[in-house]
Amino acid sequence: MKKGIAASKGYAIGKVFIQEHEEIVITDAKIEDVAAEKENLRVALEASKQQLTAIKEKTLAEIGEHEAAVFEAHLTLLDDPEFTGQMEMTIENDSLNAMKAVQNVTDTFVMIFESMDDAYMRERAADIKDVSKRIISNLAGKGGSAFAITEENTVVVAHDLTPSDTAQLDRSKVCGFLTNIGGRTSHSAIMARTLEIPAVVGLGDITTSVKNGDLVIVDGIEGVAIINPSEEVVAEYKAKKEAFAAEQEELKKLIEVKTVTKSGKRVEVCGNIGKPEDIDQVLANGGDVSGFNAVIRAIKKTCETNGIECYGYIDGYRGLVNNNYIRLDGSETASGILTKGGSIIGSSTNAIVFHYKVEHEDGTVTYEDLSDQCVRNVKEAGFDCVFTLGGDSTQKSARDLFLKGINTIGVPKTIDNDVACTDVTFGYNTAVHVATEALDRLHTTAETHDRIMVLEVMGRFAGWIALESAISGGADVALIPEIPYDINKAAEAINKRKANGKKFSVVVVSEGAHPINAEQTTHEAEGIDNKAGISVKFGGEGNRVAKQLKELTGLDSRCTILGYMQRGGTPTAYDRVLSTKYGAKAMELAMEGKFGVLTVIKNGKLDCVPLEVVVGENKEIGAVQGGTAESNVRYVTMEDDLVKTARDVGICLGD
């Protein structure tokens, strides 16, 4: 008997099939024809996209939409210049072969993920590995097909199963799986639970403890694997398996049982995060924003304390349009969510009710004002208040719905920390923590190899994440959107360190940073409607800075784009407390009848301000330089303590 982690409930008895991958040897060989090698990478990426598209469609048809979204995220990763773009840059700058370039970029991302404290975030390294393995396999001409299983009652045994491996399992033949590594939050484990395939992971050495054809029992309740059991043990587990199946059938009878409310008063939670500019990021991560669930929990708990019913619209404003909601108070779904990243009710930053994307049967797309429909849905449901969790665009819609007769109360959410009228937004502290953790690890690489390590972080037009993480992570240079930089100034600071015997430096670059008299580095977001205020996506400034610093200092320079890692995982203690305070305050305001407002923190104290002040035409805080025509955004100013502190400790800001 071997003890592991119970990843998917149930019992399975079957013959072992050991998954074995053909080893692909990756060398450090340099290449002469850079263009040809970049073309090889392009072909491999395209093949990977085709394979993942097929897997996604199979998953959608056989498993479900939620599970298929995993592969949509994988496809997005293949199109992401923060990932594949770095592979191309590595080929071009270092003349490395494509397989080695893919491996190097992957190793950087995986290192950061696997070093995180949060178990959920550590498991996301498996997604990166899955995509990378597929690219390398296609580069080597091995294709990306899954292993073939021909016999029924087969237990798959593997070192690990990737999401694509799990999605392609033939459920008519595979009755369970066992792995050396993994945890309950891995996508393969989640898919196993959806497929109702018993699974035990984290067994350590199961691949070397069994051989093909061995009889094995998978106990997905206790998390154990029993190898070549006796007849008595087999009989015992057959009985357990039958009892478990009977229990599941009884539970299925409760699926259609409706919840009957006793009180006529209901309070609804509408969660909608971020900004429309972040649409690509939201679709790739599934709305992973730390602290979201803590706010929902605080509202739910306050409702329960006061005998008020609490509901949540599924996928934010999209749920509001489609009148799709669930009850949260007293629900198992809404239990134990304080420490969970993401949102238990989903989100939809692309769903703008006043400019809603409607896809017609003939394939045409129109954008329509569905706000009246939303108003009807809220009033017919009898909800007294709608809470909107999000950034400036979310709160703008909340303001406009309030003007149409819906009681709304906003809660400020964005990792960028750029919502006007409040000192801090929930999710920001966790993002800074992740960036700081990445800088800590990049420091060792920089010092070991005498390199300049550049870290690109999010923030769009606001440099809060870059500036605060630079201070907490001991960076030498920090480039933010509010201060157009002179690359020569940054190089001068690094050369000064080199002259003093320090042949390495760490640089933080905000994605929206830009040189003096130059525009921000952006790439087009395909298929995005410009009328919704979404036209470009930031990214790539870190690579530009790294290349220029290499030329100006003579030091090897590498860039890591932190990307979506800043948005997910377990919230920090600070964000948990902040989110709870925001949620409780929002409910207090609702019970006091104060609507059309945003909960804020000013000078450390909870308060509220009219939504009109937050998103109206009059700016509370303008940009230092390079402002935008967006609704109110809170920018870093030259008088901010963070700027003064950075200068005091010798961080070059590029000016």
Active-site positions?
416
Query: What is the distance in angstroms between the CA of the first residue and the CA of the last residue of the chain?
Result: 64
Q: Show the DSSP H helices in 124-259 as ranges.
A: 125-139, 163-167, 187-195, 206-209, 231-252
133 to 51, 138, 162, 165, 405: CA distances (angstroms) = 13, 9, 10, 12, 53
Inter-residue contact 123 to 25 (CB < 8 Å): no
Q: Which of 344, 320, 348 has the alpha carbon at shortest distance from 332?
A: 344
Strands 11-18, 5-8: pairing kind: unpaired
Structure tokens that stand for 637 in this block: 């100013």
Do 612 and 396 meet the contact criterion of CB atoms below 8 Å apart? no
∠ at Cα 552 (34, 80), nearest 5°?
45
Contact 487, 545 (CB under 8 A): yes
The C-alpha atoms of residue 200 and residue 159 are separated, in whole angstroms, by 12
Closest to 465 (Cα-Cα) out of 513, 420, 502: 513
Q: How far apart are CA 119 and CA 467, in angstroms?
A: 27
Give CA separation, 153 vs 161, 199, 212, 331, 636, in Å. Answer: 18, 14, 13, 36, 61
Q: What is the number of H-type helices and E-type strands within the chain? A: 22, 23
Query: Which residues on neighbouring strands pair with residue 179, listed in sequence order?
Result: 158
Provide, for the chain, the percentages of residues in helix, strand and coil under a 3-state DSSP scheme, each rounded to the nearest 5. 45, 20, 40
Contacts of 335 (CB under 8 A, 6+ apart): none
